[in-house]
Amino acid sequence: MLLNHISAIPIVEFRIDPWSHVMIKEYEKLFQYFGIRPFNEVVDDLKSVVTPHPLMVRGVIFGHRDFNNIVNALKNREKFAIVTGLMPSGKMHFGHKMLIDQIIYYQRLGAEIFLIVADIEAYSVRRINRKEAIEIALYDYIANYIALGLTKSNLHLYFQSNYHPKYYRLIQMISRKLTLAELRAAYGEDLEVGKIVSVITQIADILHPQLKDFGGFKDVLVPVGPDQDPHLRLTRDVAQRFEGELGLKPPASTYHRFMSGLDGGKMSSSRPESYIALDEDPQSASQKLMKAFTGGRATAEEQRRLGGEPEKCVVYEFYAYHLIPDDSELSKVYYECRSGSILCGECKLRACEMLVKFLLDHLTKREKAIDKVYDYVEVPDF
């Protein structure tokens, strides 16, 4: 039986909460219950048009909905848009970097980019004060985006609190298209007004690029972590409810694995031991990486005999997600680990060396980028 329709979801058994800190380990459930498709089924088709992003080939981007629409847009040289965002709360770390790397990839492919500073969500759900959210957004997140290579071409970078009037009109109109029962089914009984506002704001983030004033219909892709999928499912429903009225179509989406925390658990801005920030000083970054959980064995003897388990290793994640762009170089590390020919100590030292090199280079770029943030975004005045 197909379980990909919203009414068939066993909600009590498995619900994703975008605002909690739980790990979504059981990615298969997303396929089973929610109709997300494995990304590998579209990779070859994408390869026939463009070079896929390494995160796609490596299984880090593991799932999608309707990605075929985007491949077709690329094939037919039709315009398409990317919409995604981050909340300015806590430091921007390597877990967030994956998302911006994808944005930059699509920007280079010619996509129109809508990149959102989710300051209203940070205010209403995370209770971060306005001044702090604005400063974090400008001097940490946006400075990093620029340093990573985001350019102004085809870019709409905006704060949710400070955008075009028609975006706000759409938010108001979305209020008629959802029931409280649907929202409770998606987000639980302890629904707060702030969550509702954040959700309809996010739905408008995703749908507004199709409005006439923003260039009219185009395929839209939303790259996110799987925690955001409840928002996407609602957005798809809302799009259909606007089909006749505004001609909106459901967006496509992709889902990437979260990075593991350095201390086990999830990588989370609320625990500095769990992440490395993009502006972390190299010494503290190395210390954290040297202490990180690995897929190593209890003793050196055992590891030489059995080999390590890169699949369970945070250091390997750093290699695969960030530090080694070249596929053959990455598989060399993989086999050295698997065969037990390298031990974790030496492997970590290598990773640190690459990480420090990246950080030093990034810090220089960030310094230059900080002067440019005001060219990229209009800043809300309170």
Judged by beta carbon distances under 5 to 8 A according to partner kind, the member of ligand SF4, ligand TRP, none in contact with residue 121 is: ligand TRP
Structure tokens at 160: 């949710």
Could you say which of 103, 206, 262, 359 contacts ligand TRP (CB under 6 A)? 206
Q: Which is nearer to ligand SF4, 45 or 336 (CB)?
A: 336
DSSP 379: P
Q: How far is the CB of 59 from ligand SF4 (least distance, A)?
A: 16
Cα 260 from Cα 313, distance rounded (Å): 9
- Kindly identify the residues of this chain, within the stretch 5-64, that bind ligand TRP according to CB under 6 A: none
Q: Which is nearer to ligand TRP, 257 or 348 (CB)?
A: 257
Residue 228 in the binding site for ligand TRP (CB under 6 A): yes
Residue 161 in the binding site for ligand TRP (CB under 6 A): no
3-class SS of residue 88: coil
CA angle 53, 199, 229 (to 5 degrees): 40
Residue 90 in the binding site for ligand SF4 (CB under 6 A): no
Q: How far is the CB of 358 from ligand SF4 (least distance, A)?
A: 17
Residue 295 in the binding site for ligand SF4 (CB under 6 A): yes
Residue 253 in the binding site for ligand TRP (CB under 6 A): no
Cα 183 from Cα 121, distance rounded (Å): 16
Could you say which of 16, 116, 178, 211 contacts ligand TRP (CB under 6 A)? 116
Query: Which of 64, 44, 60, 63 minimizes the C-alpha distance to 52?
Result: 44
Contact 312, 285 (CB under 8 A): no
Reported as half-sphere exposure (CB side, CA atoms, 13 A), residue 30 has a value of 26
Contact 64, 223 (CB under 8 A): no
Query: Which of 201, 92, 109, 185 minimizes the C-alpha distance to 147?
Result: 92
Q: How far is the CB of 371 from ligand TRP (least distance, A)?
A: 26
Q: Which is nearer to ligand TRP, 267 or 323 (CB)?
A: 267
Could you say which of 35, 54, 85, 250 contacts ligand TRP (CB under 6 A)? 85
Cα 73 from Cα 42, distance rounded (Å): 14
Q: How far is the CB of 296 from ligand SF4 (least distance, A)?
A: 4
- E-assigned strand segments in the chain: 37-38, 61-65, 80-86, 112-117, 155-159, 219-224, 252-256
Residue 86 in the binding site for ligand TRP (CB under 6 A): yes
Helix (H) / strand (E) containing 46: helix 40-47
Cα 16 from Cα 22, distance rounded (Å): 9
Residue 157 in the binding site for ligand TRP (CB under 6 A): no
Q: Which is nearer to ligand SF4, 267 or 342 (CB)?
A: 342
Cα 296 from Cα 171, distance rounded (Å): 50
Could you say which of 46, 289, 337, 352 contacts ligand SF4 (CB under 6 A)? 337
Residue 313 in the binding site for ligand SF4 (CB under 6 A): yes
Contact 225, 256 (CB under 8 A): yes
Strands 37-38 and 219-224, bridge-based pairing = unpaired
Residue 88 in the binding site for ligand TRP (CB under 6 A): no
Residue 267 in the binding site for ligand TRP (CB under 6 A): no
Q: How far is the CB of 318 from ligand SF4 (least distance, A)?
A: 9
3-class SS of residue 250: coil
Residues that bind ligand TRP (rule: CB under 6 A) add up to a total of 14
Q: Which is nearer to ligand TRP, 227 or 279 (CB)?
A: 227
- Kindly identify the residues of this chain, within the stretch 338-377, that bind ligand SF4 according to CB under 6 A: 342, 344, 347-348
Phi, psi dihedrals of residue 106, rounded to the nearest 5°: -70, -35
Residue 259 in the binding site for ligand TRP (CB under 6 A): no
Give residues in contact with ligand SF4 (CB under 6 A): 294-296, 308, 310, 313, 315-316, 337, 342, 344, 347-348
Give residues in contact with ligand TRP (CB under 6 A): 83-87, 116, 118, 121, 202, 205-206, 222, 224, 228
